[in-house]
């Protein structure tokens, strides 16, 4: 059964993060499956200086897939939110499209942009299901982005938690991709939560990625990396990704290993870029910030690295962890959040004690110095990712949508 699916998203490419990249590959696969999709997201043209390729992700991006960019307002230094007065555009386009189902990504963020529940009223009036996805636990980010006294922060978290729970419970279903997060939001009071695996990646692109002699020099003009242990970071350069912790830890790491044998490769951008560059450059000369890189280049970057590191304790799933496994390299991550569902400590990666720099440095030292362990863990990681193909992930989502349509009819 082919469907007409309306997706109201808080973000999309050209912004590069796990949510937006996943969203792009998801609609690509939906196009291949023969479904029609109308996707609403913010207009990123005001950030053309950051994303000169923004036009690649607007309009008809795949057969049957149309992206409508809504006038937007600033959000952080590298993002946009849909504008308050833009919801009338959503309604007008929904009326023309006549979807079978509406899917809303991050409804709480959209609520505070639209000042209304995205999709709900139209769905009720047209007797179609309206479901949503829990992507980011924004409550955990208060301390990162609102540096207020602890008591005030706690009070605000309690207020917003009640608001978030109320918002999610208005939808027919709340999907979440992590069993840990699933239990957490049920505990918060979200009654319609369902865990499904709807994350994936293009395994074929990782299968075709190759280890190339002088890869870094040929592609990124970085010479003399062949004999160095290459540690790769992927993601936004923001405080919530654990960068303050990481910067402090690397000062200690230089006392434990021969840091001249290590190259630190950072893929991504954000407001902390200058601070990261300055502080890591005091530790070693072999720090390389590549900036924003197209998702199509990530398989080869990972394949030509030795291991991936993330210090974020707040991931609901952690797409980069799965990508590292697909590339055949191990991961070092905190024993916190959704990343722990995929990392088997000592088998395909290493988990460190959250907030403990000594534990973090011990894990880094182990992988820096033991090439055989890196190879063994990389092989084990490859064995864990077959179920995360985009075919499987999107088929799971399509099944849920079809079930909801039948229930509503």
For 347-378, give the DSSP string.
TTEEEE-TT-HHHHHHHHHHHHH-HHHHHHHH
What is the arithmetic mean of pLDDT over 102-112?
A: 95
pLDDT higher than threshold 70 for residue 145:
no
**pLDDT 10s digits, 361-409:** 999 999 999 999 999 999 999 988 877 889 999 999 999 999 999 999 8
Give me the percent of the chain exceeding a pLDDT of 70: 94
CATH 3.40.50.2000 residue spans of the chain: 4-200+389-408, 203-388
Q: What is the pLDDT of residue 350?
A: 98
Q: What is the pLDDT of residue 27?
A: 98
What is the arithmetic mean of pLDDT over 112-125?
A: 96
How distant is the alpha carbon of residue 146 from its chain centre? 22
Q: Find out whether 307 and 374 touch, Cβ atoms under 8 Å.
A: yes
Q: Does domain 203-388 have CATH number 3.40.50.2000?
A: yes
| Phi, psi torsion values for 258, nearest 5 degrees | -80, 95
What's the whole-model pTM score? 0.81
* Cα gap 220→13, rounded to integer Å: 23
| pLDDT band at 14; cut points 50, 70, 90 | very high
pLDDT higher than threshold 60 for residue 138:
no
Q: Which residues pair with 41 in a beta bridge?
A: 69
Q: What is the pLDDT of residue 314?
A: 75
pLDDT higher than threshold 80 for residue 158:
no
Q: Does domain 4-200+389-408 have CATH number 3.60.15.10?
A: no
pLDDT higher than threshold 70 for residue 148:
no
Helices (H), 232-356: 243-253, 273-281, 298-303, 319-327
What is the arithmetic mean of pLDDT over 352-363?
A: 97
**pLDDT 10s digits, 240-253:** 899 999 999 999 99
């Amino acid at each position: 059964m082919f469907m007409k699916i309306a997706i109201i998203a808080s973000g999309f490419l050209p912004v590069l993060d796990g949510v937006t990249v996943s969203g792009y590959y998801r609609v690509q696969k939906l196009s291949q499956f023969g479904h029609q999709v109308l996707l609403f997201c913010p207009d990123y043209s005001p950030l053309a200086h950051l994303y000169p390729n923004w036009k690649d992700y607007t309009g008809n991006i795949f057969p049957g897939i149309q992206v409508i960019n809504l006038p937007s307002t600033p959000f952080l230094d590298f993002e946009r939110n849909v504008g308050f007065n833009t919801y009338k555009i959503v309604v007008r386009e929904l009326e023309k499209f006549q979807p079978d189902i509406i899917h809303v990504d991050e409804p709480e963020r959209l609520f505070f942009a639209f000042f209304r529940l995205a999709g709900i009223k139209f769905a009720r009036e047209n007797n179609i299901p309206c479901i949503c996805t829990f992507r980011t636990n924004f409550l955990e980010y208060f301390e990162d982005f609102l540096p207020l006294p602890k008591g005030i922060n706690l009070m605000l978290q309690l207020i917003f938690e009640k608001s978030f729970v109320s918002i999610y419970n208005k939808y027919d279903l709340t999907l979440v991709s992590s069993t840990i997060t699933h239990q957490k939001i049920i505990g918060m009071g979200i009654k319609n939560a369902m865990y499904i695996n709807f994350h994936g990646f293009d395994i074929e692109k990782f299968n075709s990625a190759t280890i190339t002699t002088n890869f870094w020099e040929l592609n990124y003009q970085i010479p003399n990396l062949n004999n160095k242990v290459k540690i790769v970071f992927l993601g936004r350069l923001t405080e919530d990704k654990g960068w303050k912790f990481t910067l402090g830890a690397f000062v200690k790491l230089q006392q434990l290993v021969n840091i001249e044998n290590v190259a630190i490769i950072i893929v991504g951008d954000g407001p902390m870029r200058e601070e990261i560059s300055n502080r890591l450059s005091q530790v070693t000369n072999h720090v390389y910030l590549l900036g924003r890189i197209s998702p199509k280049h990530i398989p080869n970057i990972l394949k030509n690295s030795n291991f991936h590191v993330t210090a974020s304790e707040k991931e609901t799933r952690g797409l980069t962890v799965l990508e590292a496994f697909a590339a055949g390299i191990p991961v070092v991550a905190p024993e916190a959040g959704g990343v722990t569902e995929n990392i088997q400590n000592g088998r395909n990666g290493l988990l460190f004690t959250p907030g403990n720099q000594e534990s973090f440095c011990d894990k880094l030292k182990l992988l820096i110095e033991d090439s055989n362990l890196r190879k063994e863990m990389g092989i084990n990681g490859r064995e864990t990712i077959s179920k995360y193909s985009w075919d499987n992930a999107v088929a799971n989502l399509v099944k849920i949508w079809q079930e909801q349509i039948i229930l509503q009819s």
